[in-house]
Structure 1
Amino acid sequence: MTDSRETILAVRSLKVTFTTPDGDVQAVKGIDLDIKAGETLAVVGESGSGKSQTMMGIMGLLAGNGRVTGSAKYRGQELVGLPLKALNKVRGAKITMIFQEPMTSLDPLYTIGRQIAEPIVHHRGGTFKQARARVLELLELVGIPDPARRIDSYPHEMSGGQRQRVMIAMALANDPDILIADEPTTALDVTIQAQILDLLNKLQAKFGMAVVLITHDLGIVRHFASRVAVMRRGEVVETGTTADIFERPQADYTKMLLAAEPHGRKLSPGDKVPIILEGRNVAVDYATGGGLFGSSAGIFRAVDGVNIRLREGQTIGIVGESGSGKSTLGRALLRLVPSTGRYQFGATNISDFGRSAMRPLRRQLQLVFQDPYGSLSPRQTVGEIITEGLYVHEPQLSRAERDKRAIEALKEVRLDPAARNRYPHEFSGGQRQRIAIARAIILKPKVVILDEPTSALDRSVQGQVIDLLRDLQTAHGLSYIFISHDLSVIKAMSDYVVVMKNGKIVEEGETDAIFDAPRESYTQTLMSAAFTA
């Protein structure tokens, strides 16, 4: 069926090139793309595929060392090479863009009302005071509660979902023809993600604008896009309707992306298997306020009376929204944060163990973090990072023996052993996560707590890391606690699921039971909010 809608943005032979000390790097290699009035076009692909740089090039927002060539015509007007003054009449008015992380896009020194008013004043004239009525209208439109009060709020006073709504309000300020949304929900919980996408849908229907959705999440694409362009290494490898792309993909790369969605099922080790780690009535309190400019001090209970048992060879998935207490519970079980409750590791009661008493047990209780780059020292080689724990727990090893263990660990995580002589910045996100896993398994632990280990990775890389973790679990009899807000990953990795809200467990059970027949309304809301491809 032919789409008869008008093409309002025609991109032809577009190239984006960056000048670097090592020569020119071509991020976008001469692509063609059409955006039609009122449609939702999803541009998908892995990190580095050129999705964002294509749109930044069209908008004239490239970094100083970038340049764009080719053609991008908006309603017949060429944007490439257009003088800045003329370009500014289009961007921010007719073509607008919202970004992945609103906290870095919003100025912390100005109220949200002032920031939403800025494009109105710039494009329509008048004063900020005169623009106030339009700002209030926009805040109400995007679902910000009590707009008259929140108009004078600062970005840090709002939640992640509210900040993203502010960014949408700013983008809508001048009734655009095209709204480009660059990974608008990646940093958000599934329920907030669903709300933001539902909001974009309603606004699109109300104003008839085209939406360009840049994302690597195919579940979202399937639910919200009418047409898809698949990019790889700066080129468009396939375009088509959403149904065609998902049901009849032509390019091998597209087939790979679709196959990369987390799949498989973790079998339960059963109730007869010994318990390796247990926490009873776990509670964690944090002091609030009472600082130099704060109000009177108070107590915030991050984890509230939680009971959890991890068996040998088991994977418990812990899910819940930000602030539910997932990560804090994981750290409490490892005795890394002050807490109360009874803790048992194997046959040992570790409830009263302090830092020094826990130190010999650390090799058996390991933690892998969400951000592999932030958790790896940029000043150490990969070999030094991986073997750091051996200095503490096996100080008798010679340098040659440590090097041998590093080689074995890198092979286990499917990295070239020669990588031990390089630095973290020389590796991709997926490779850095493998390095973090190698650092944990080199000590031959019994329990590994994985805190959002795949959330920063592309789907295809996520699948590789999940397969790796499964293989390591089988090879070494590892027990995992897997913390994530990505329900498709939890389903693929876990044989038991714990659902948390406001520091408490609201529901728990075998994975199939939780996903197929959740009992609690909160769990049902989480499940219905998740988009799976």
Structure 2
Amino acid sequence: MVTNPILSIRDLRIRFRTNDGMVEAVRGVDLDVGAGEFVAIVGESGSGKSQSVMAAMGLLAGNGEATGSIRYRGAELLGLKPAALNAYRGRKLAMIFQEPMTSLDPLFRIGAQIAAPLRKHQGLSRKAARARALELLELVRMPRPEARLSSYPHELSGGQRQRVMIAMALANDPDILIADEPTTALDVTIEAEILALIAELRQRLGMAVILITHDLGLVRQHAERVYVMKAGEVVESGTKRQIITAPTHPYTRMLLAAEPEGRKAPPPDDAPILLAARDLRVSYDLSRGFLRRETALLHAVDGVDLTLRRGQTIGIVGESGSGKSTLGKAVLKLVPSSGTVRFEDRALEPLDRAAMRPLRSSLQVVFQDPFGSLSPRLTVGEIVSEGLLVHAPQLTRAERDLRAAQALAEVSLEPALRNRYPHEFSGGQRQRIAIARAMILHPKLVVLDEPTSALDRTVQKSIVALLKDMQARHALSYLFISHDLAVVRAMADWIMVMKDGRVVESGPTEAIFEAPQADYTRRLIAASIKG
């Protein structure tokens, strides 16, 4: 029990109006946060942990309603009008969201976005706000902070964008920093840096931190007290030591035990080659100025060779900016590249967009950011079945709907949910929707770009098992891009380690994990060990 908490939540209940009726997301939650305390809220996707703090920030979706009490230093927040809430949001309570790319405005430079809350809440001049923005970027240890003030969000890596979000959250010296899955999209080394940064800033600035996460490894490292949520309720709470070493609830014990399992056997030596790339290169021109007198090329993929057999999974690992996602896009001809790519012994480089279209059903991709890749205006059923309009135009609307229901069932989502919209789902559920959309076309090759980054460990286990089962039944081949080495180890039979656009090491999965040859590989593996 916390004496004199600065944030106190009592009997919080949250419901959403949907096409299928009212859905109760949070059921009678009680929660306290003390001054300067580091509290973790842990639970699976859909447990209600994010919605609980969204209610405190007044950020529930338009179809949501909350009852109960949320008090900050004795002042009731629940039910306040937006204008009144703005006296607290950003000033007393600040939030870092799970997906920084969708939280940053792509049309404005970083400096302007950090300066905006400073000018609004503190009345700073443009010049003073820019100076403070630079101080904040230095505070979060952004590389080349002055240059980054003029950058757009798409010019930054995932870790750099998250540092910008932290800088914006700290702009007005909040009492409480809410970090909602702040590292799910980051590789292990950057994840460790970001969480160490948050912990350091908490100590330096004396603020409280609420960490919302599905990863109990992070709880072991940083939290002081823990709330465990399941199906909208707090099922257990206590100190970190109590929760980690002596959990009393079966659900907590299940979370602690959850870890992707098994090892994938390699395909037979005589398995046919499905995809082969040779000397693959992707470069970007970074020259600036009207006359572009100086040539500056970024080699995102620099001379990579790759051979993928039918039924094989190649895991591609590396830090943000290593080129692993760009490599996945290059083999699918989603970005301009040089070198050769052959799919089923057919050269892809001469094919234009129209010639590639018949092959797209065989070459599918699941992107890292499910919310950004799902149309907010379509129902989930329409999103999942959208590819059938192009690749199976003979199907009737009813047949497409049936296929969508089957695809959702395959990824462990209730088919009845297909009448809802993406914003009504948790991050993990949206990721499963994105997987269903790719699998509905029965592809031969799937590029999985961080497909489990937004999922809690228990759901990761089911998704890994699902992907393996589908691979075995349909002889699928995967390029599995991930920063989560535990998942890669369970999924892949071969691993490629990338750094600065090049492959620094590759080989069978167990050989890479048990006896890594490159210093960089050893550093990645060491950073993935938590607790």
Q: TM-score range by the shorter chain?
A: 0.7 to 0.9
The 3 A distance-change label for structure 1 pair 411 and 183 is closer
Aligned equivalents of 2:333 and 2:152: distance in 1? 36
The offset of 1:464, in angstroms, is 1.5
1:220 alignment partner in structure 2: 218
How does 1:147-158 map onto structure 2 within 5 Å?
147-148=145-146, 150-151=148-149, 155=153, 158=156
Aligned equivalents of 2:146 and 2:418: distance in 1? 58
The 3 A distance-change label for structure 1 pair 287 and 110 is closer
- Is 1:523 the counterpart of 2:524? The answer is no
Is the Cα contact below 8 Å between 1:413 and 1:434 reproduced in 2? no
Aligned equivalents of 2:55 and 2:418: distance in 1? 37
Kindly tell me the number of residue pairs found equivalent between the two proteins: 520
2:166 to 165, 168, 175: 168
The 3 A distance-change label for structure 1 pair 80 and 264 is same
1:139 alignment partner in structure 2: 137
Question: In structure 1, what residue type is equivalent to 2:278?
Answer: N
Secondary structure of the corresponding residue to residue 7 of structure 1: coil
Is the Cα contact below 8 Å between 1:165 and 1:196 reproduced in 2? yes
Aligned equivalents of 1:156 and 1:13: distance in 2? 41
Is the Cα contact below 8 Å between 1:383 and 1:420 reproduced in 2? no
The offset of 1:357, in angstroms, is 8.4
What CA deviation, in whole Å up to 9, does each residue of 1:113-167 have, x standing for no partner? 4544554555555645455654443332211345455456555554443332233
User: What is the RMSD computed on CA atoms of the aligned residues?
Assistant: 4.4
The 3 A distance-change label for structure 1 pair 260 and 128 is same
- Is 1:78 the counterpart of 2:91? The answer is no
1:432 alignment partner in structure 2: 433
1:178 to 160, 176, 179: 176
Is the Cα contact below 8 Å between 2:39 and 2:224 reproduced in 1? yes
Aligned equivalents of 2:172 and 2:385: distance in 1? 54
Is the Cα contact below 8 Å between 1:218 and 1:258 reproduced in 2? yes
Aligned equivalents of 1:341 and 1:115: distance in 2? 39
> 348-357 or 193-202, which moves further after superposition?
348-357
Aligned equivalents of 1:18 and 1:415: distance in 2? 22
The offset of 1:262, in angstroms, is 1.6
What CA deviation, in whole Å up to 9, does each residue of 1:187-235 have, x standing for no partner? 3333322221111111112123211011223332332222221222322
The offset of 1:30, in angstroms, is 1.9
TM-score (norm 1): 0.79
1:282 to 268, 276, 279: 279
The offset of 1:71, in angstroms, is 2.3
1:57 alignment partner in structure 2: 55
1:508 alignment partner in structure 2: 506
Aligned equivalents of 1:131 and 1:414: distance in 2? 47
Is the Cα contact below 8 Å between 1:368 and 1:440 reproduced in 2? no
What CA deviation, in whole Å up to 9, does each residue of 1:238-274 have, x standing for no partner? 212334333433333333434443222223346x444
Percent identity between matched residues is: 52
2:322 alignment partner in structure 1: 324
Aligned equivalents of 1:359 and 1:177: distance in 2? 53
Q: Structure 2, unaligned stretches of length 5 or more?
A: none
Aligned equivalents of 1:409 and 1:62: distance in 2? 31
The 3 A distance-change label for structure 1 pair 300 and 178 is closer
2:472 alignment partner in structure 1: 474
Aligned equivalents of 2:392 and 2:280: distance in 1? 33
The 3 A distance-change label for structure 1 pair 344 and 170 is closer
How does 1:97-496 map onto structure 2 within 5 Å?
97-107=95-105, 112-120=110-118, 123=121, 127-130=125-128, 134-148=132-146, 150-151=148-149, 155=153, 158-269=156-267, 272-277=269-274, 279=276, 281-286=278-283, 288=285, 295=292, 300-333=298-331, 339-341=337-339, 348=345, 350=347, 354=351, 365-370=362-367, 374=373, 378=378, 391=392, 413=410, 428-429=429-430, 432-433=433-434, 435-436=436-437, 438-441=439-442, 445=444, 447-496=445-494
Aligned equivalents of 2:420 and 2:73: distance in 1? 48
Is the Cα contact below 8 Å between 1:102 and 1:164 reproduced in 2? yes
Secondary structure of the corresponding residue to residue 237 of structure 2: strand
1:37 alignment partner in structure 2: 35
Highest Rg: 1 or 2? 1
The 3 A distance-change label for structure 1 pair 314 and 146 is closer
Is the Cα contact below 8 Å between 1:269 and 1:312 reproduced in 2? yes
Aligned equivalents of 2:156 and 2:35: distance in 1? 33
The 3 A distance-change label for structure 1 pair 299 and 75 is closer
Aligned equivalents of 2:242 and 2:125: distance in 1? 49
2:11 alignment partner in structure 1: 13
> 211-220 or 478-487, which moves further after superposition?
478-487
Aligned equivalents of 1:338 and 1:315: distance in 2? 24
Question: In structure 2, what residue type is equivalent to 1:166?
Answer: V
What CA deviation, in whole Å up to 9, does each residue of 1:44-73 have, x standing for no partner? 223332222221222333345544332233
What CA deviation, in whole Å up to 9, does each residue of 1:301-343 have, x standing for no partner? 4432222233454321111234433344345545666654455
TM-score (norm 2): 0.80
Aligned equivalents of 1:230 and 1:439: distance in 2? 35
Secondary structure of the corresponding residue to residue 307 of structure 1: strand
> 416-425 or 447-456, which moves further after superposition?
416-425
The offset of 1:100, in angstroms, is 2.5
Aligned equivalents of 2:488 and 2:12: distance in 1? 39
Q: Structure 1, unaligned stretches of length 5 or more?
A: none
Question: In structure 1, what residue type is equivalent to 2:187?
Answer: D
The 3 A distance-change label for structure 1 pair 112 and 340 is closer
Is the Cα contact below 8 Å between 1:114 and 1:128 reproduced in 2? no
